[in-house]
Amino acid sequence: MSNLILQALQFDQSVIEKIAAITGADGVQDLGPTAVRLLGADPNEYDAVKAVCEQARFDFAFIEPVQLLREMKILAMDMDSTLINIECIDEIAAAVGRKAEVSAITEAAMRGEIKDFAESLTRRVALLEGVPEAALQQVYDQRLQLNAGAERLVKVAKQHGVRTLLVSGGFVFFTQRLQERLGIDEAYANTLEIKDGKLTGRVLGDIVGSQAKADHVIRLAKELGASKEQIIAVGDGANDLPMLAQAHYSVAYRAKPVVQEQARFALNVAPLDAIINWFRLSH
């Protein structure tokens, strides 16, 4: 038997009771106004629970056993459309009227239709040639927002000794600022080449793609002696799958279908800090 965590923006008590009945739960613990833990829930009823939760707009997670958050060692996060609300490259492209063109490639890559992330990034960055460097700051100031729960997720993880890692197929300009803003321990992304105050349409150095994301998690796990069961990883697109595969707590956040299918957990409704409710914060 497992613990089943249910989370929603607004709870319908009858749905909780229905899921408790389906899973033969022994009891219900309140975890706050938008989260409950069903004790002794039968994980074999996964499909039935999923069907009810999809209809009721609930997120669910079968967790066994419930670990202390401080027993986790790594929280690895994607940036675009995961930690933040936008795809930065699409918004930069908007500065030169090429957003639709770039967005179409971004979407195809995130859905997994373009298998080679490096190729898709190279194609998109080429379309940014001539964009003034000032457009990057403009995107950061005017378009970029943290997704709900992002700040608290990072803060609470750090308070419990979890090392935080931001790995992005996006750009250092943005990861650097988010690292400073949130106090993230490590951040890696791609560097846009800039000459005479304008983007050249090229990326400097090796491209941080799907394998590089996974490699950073593998390296950090070796450094910290972290097992797969001590790693949380969050992403939304196909290029996050190799990284998510390194983590027992692999989380699809508002993710594309290919990611929902392969990740162990999904957050389609609740904010990012809903992840904290899967763990105990103290004995």
Given 12, 47, 80, 196, which residue is catalytic?
A: 80
Is 78 catalytic? The answer is yes
Name residue 129's amino acid. Answer: E
Handedness of CA 31, 162, 262, 109 (dihedral sign): positive
DSSP string spanning the chain?
A: -EEEEEE-SS--HHHHHHHHHHHT-SEEEEEETTEEEEEEE-GGGHHHHHHHHHHHT-EEEEESSPPBGGG--EEEE-IIIIIBSS-HHHHHHHTTT-HHHHHHHHHHHHTTSS--HHHHHHHHHHTTTT-BTHHHHHHHHHT--BPTTHHHHHHHHHHTTPEEEEEEEEEHHHHHHHHHHHT-SEEEEEEEEEETTEEEEEEESS---HHHHHHHHHHHHHHHT--GGGEEEEE-SGGGHHHHTT-SEEEEES--HHHHHHSSEEESSS-GGGGGGGSBS--
* Residues forming beta bridges with residue 31, ordered by sequence position: none
HSE on the CB side for 175, CA within 13 Å? 24
Is 236 catalytic? The answer is no
Given 59, 78, 240, 273, which residue is catalytic?
A: 78
Q: Which residues are catalytic?
A: 78, 80
